[in-house]
């Protein structure tokens, strides 16, 4: 490829990028993931006009579950925006590129002057000398157009935080609807014009015939009608009762919402009650907004939707301790022995860890009550096979730092109390249950083997440690 018309630094970056994707790792075939990011202020002054950074990861496995499959990483290639399309062409030509992530930084200023002649040649269109937002839109439309021709791309991940999402979303359908191999779409976004993004994704879903998994992480602020309307638009393609080829293969939906109020709950419940194709639903909440107003959020509509849903097989759901009993109603037979939801086999519950002056004591107390409700439900349930109860998480479900357990003995109380509760359940409720195969609470897991339950613990060591050991752990970054 001739790079004679561009700067030496860009030409060198493109050559090294091409060399990295064209060589095997120790003669072993591998798969590639790439990350494209808009530049940071530290490099903007050094590189002049807006630029992108490109990072690639080689993996020995097609799966992305663990970083232990990673073989090595490329250096970070800094490429000016005018030559981004050349970099994307190199990536698209790689026959084993399976995952692409594009991150748009909030400090990236599209009004900075670009080398208009080079950019004009790349995009083959007439552009002003000064980059306006629509220039970035044009650029992204060409990026999507190139990615749609990738012979192996199966996952596209877009991250945007504070910038105007309308600059990149209008042409998203070019990639989603015209690449027959794209199976997973992940969008994490915020910023203004969320309604434009919702409409763009809805168009993609109405025409989608290949996506199998969709993850949306979006803000849902209180008293912002456009954000609530955005959620309605996003979920509308999942509530159509008319048979359609669109979304027939889309079986997994994950919603990461910033806040959950009655309106959002109504929209989600409506989708759960009417949808007939989804197999897995993951619902995470950053904050339960009603807590800040001294109110209680009712799960009545959501529970009613679960009662009539006949297709969901796996549900991951964030809720509070006091809502747990209400949420379990569809999985418990009534006094006549009739259980309303019999299709769900995997239930994963994320319950927030309260943060106050009596944190450990309050957590233990809540755990006792919550696990008692869960034990009563499992004693009668006849269909659930796998249940997880996750209590030690940040609001989106990420596990907290386990190293605190080593130096804070108060936290050990939680583990010992859970161990006692599980022993009691094995002797009582779980002796009656015949369908459950695994049950996890925090770091503890019960696995049914024949007619017996095996207990395993995968948390931090709870035995007394020496002072020297504790210091070493604290110093670990």
Dihedral sign for Cα atoms in the order 63, 66, 69, 70: positive
Supply 46's token pair: 């050094």
**d(Cα 402, Cα 277) in Å, to the nearest integer?**
38
Mean pLDDT on 224-245: 78
pLDDT score, position 87: 93
Which 3 state secondary structure label does DSSP give 200?
helix
Q: What backbone torsions phi and psi does residue 444 show, to the nearest 5 degrees?
A: -95, 140
Q: Residue 129 has what pLDDT?
A: 40
CA–CA separation, 101 vs 154, rounded Å? 11
The two tokens of residue 91 are 């990536």
Confidence of residue 335 (pLDDT cuts 50, 70, 90): confident
Greatest mean pLDDT range, 11-15, 40-44, 391-395? 11-15
Q: Is 51's pLDDT higher than 70?
A: yes
In CATH terms, 154-318 corresponds, of 3.80.10.10, 3.40.190.10, 3.40.30.160, 3.30.950.10, to: 3.80.10.10
pLDDT score, position 406 = 52
Q: What is the DSSP letter of 395?
A: T
CA distance 254 to 273: 16
Beta strand pairing call for 31-38 and 51-59: antiparallel
Q: What is the DSSP letter of 28?
A: B
Q: Which long-range contacts (CB under 8 A, 24 or more apart) does 457-461 make?
A: 457/415, 457/419, 459/402, 459/405, 459/415, 460/402, 460/403, 460/405, 460/406, 461/406
Region 134-152: mean pLDDT is 86
Position 321 scores a pLDDT of 84
Cβ atoms 254, 282 nearer than 8 A = yes
- Label residue 465 by pLDDT band (50, 70, 90): very low
Residues in a beta bridge with 185: 156, 214
Asked if 359 and 352 touch (Cβ cutoff 8 Å), the reply is: no
Q: Is the dihedral of CA 147, 150, 156, 159 positive or negative?
A: negative
Q: Is 174 helix (H, G, I), strand (E, B) or coil?
A: helix
- Strands (E) located in 219-289: 252-259, 280-287
Residue 398 has pLDDT above 70, yes or no: no
Residue 19 confidence (pLDDT) above 70: yes
Q: Is 121 helix (H, G, I), strand (E, B) or coil?
A: helix
Query: Cα angle at 162 between 156 and 165, to 5 degrees?
Result: 55
pLDDT of 66 above 60: no
Helical H segments across 53-153, by residue range: 84-92, 116-123, 133-147
Please name the residue that has the structure tokens 């808009």. 38
Q: What is the mean pLDDT of the chain?
A: 79
Q: Residue 306 and residue 300: Cα distance in Å, rounded?
A: 10
Higher pLDDT, 356 or 384: 384
Residue 49: which pLDDT band, with cuts at 50, 70 and 90?
low
DSSP character for 321?
A: G
Lowest mean pLDDT among 78-92, 221-235, 373-387: 221-235
3 state SS of 56: strand
**In the predicted model, is pLDDT for residue 261 greater than 70?**
yes
pLDDT tens digits along 157-210? 988 766 667 667 778 888 998 899 999 999 988 766 778 888 889 999 988 889
The structural domains of the chain, with segments of one domain joined by +, span: 1-132, 154-318, 333-477
- How many CB atoms within 10 Å of residue 65? 7
CB 85 within 8 A of CB 143: yes
CA 447, CA 426: separation in Å to the nearest integer?
Answer: 11
């Amino acid at each position: 490829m001739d790079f004679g018309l561009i700067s030496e630094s860009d030409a060198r970056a493109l050559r090294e990028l091409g060399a990295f994707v064209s060589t095997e790792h120790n003669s072993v075939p591998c798969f590639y993931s790439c990350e494209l990011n808009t530049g940071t202020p530290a490099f903007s002054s050094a590189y002049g006009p807006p630029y992108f950074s490109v990072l690639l990861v080689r993996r020995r496995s097609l799966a992305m579950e663990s970083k232990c499959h990673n073989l090595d990483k490329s250096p970070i290639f800094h490429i000016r925006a005018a030559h981004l399309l050349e970099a994307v062409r190199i990536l698209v030509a790689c026959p084993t590129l399976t995952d692409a992530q594009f991150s748009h930084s909030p400090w990236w200023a599209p009004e900075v002057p670009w080398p208009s002649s080079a950019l004009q040649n790349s995009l083959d269109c007439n552009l002003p000398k000064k980059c306006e937002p629509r220039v970035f839109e044009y650029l992204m439309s060409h990026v999507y157009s190139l990615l749609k021709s990738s012979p192996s791309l199966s996952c596209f991940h877009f991250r945007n935080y504070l910038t105007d999402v309308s600059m990149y979303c209008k042409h998203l359908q070019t990639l989603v609807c015209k690449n027959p191999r794209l199976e997973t779409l992940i969008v994490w976004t915020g910023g203004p014009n969320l309604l434009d993004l919702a409409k763009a994704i809805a168009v993609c879903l109405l025409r989608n015939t290949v996506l199998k998994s969709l993850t949306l992480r979006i803000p849902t602020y209180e008293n912002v009608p456009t954000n609530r309307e955005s959620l309605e638009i996003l979920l509308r393609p999942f509530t159509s009762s008319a048979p359609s080829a669109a979304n027939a293969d889309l079986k997994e939906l994950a919603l990461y919402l910033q806040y959950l109020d009655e309106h959002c709950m109504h929209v989600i419940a409506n989708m759960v009650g009417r949808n007939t194709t989804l197999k897995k639903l993951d619902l995470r909440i950053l904050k339960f907004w009603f807590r800040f107003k001294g109110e209680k959020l009712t799960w009545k509509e959501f529970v009613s939707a679960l009662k009539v849903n006949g297709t969901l097989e796996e549900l991951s759901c964030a809720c509070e301790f006091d809502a747990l009993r209400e949420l379990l109603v569809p999985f418990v037979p009534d006094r006549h022995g009739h259980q309303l939801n019999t299709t769900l086999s995997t239930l994963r519950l994320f319950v927030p860890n309260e943060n106050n002056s009596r944190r450990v004591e309050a957590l233990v107390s809540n755990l006792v009550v919550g696990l008692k409700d869960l034990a009563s439900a499992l004693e009668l349930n006849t269909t659930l096979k796998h249940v997880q109860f996750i209590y030690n998480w940040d609001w989106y479900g990420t596990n907290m730092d386990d190293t605190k357990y080593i130096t804070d003995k108060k936290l050990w109380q939680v583990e010992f109390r859970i161990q006692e509760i599980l022993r009691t359940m094995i002797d009582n409720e779980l002796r009656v249950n015949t369908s459950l195969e695994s049950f996890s609470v925090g770091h503890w897991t019960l696995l049914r083997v024949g007619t017996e339950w095996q207990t395993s613990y995968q948390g931090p060591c709870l035995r007394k440690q020496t002072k020297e050991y504790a210091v070493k752990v604290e110093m670990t970054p």
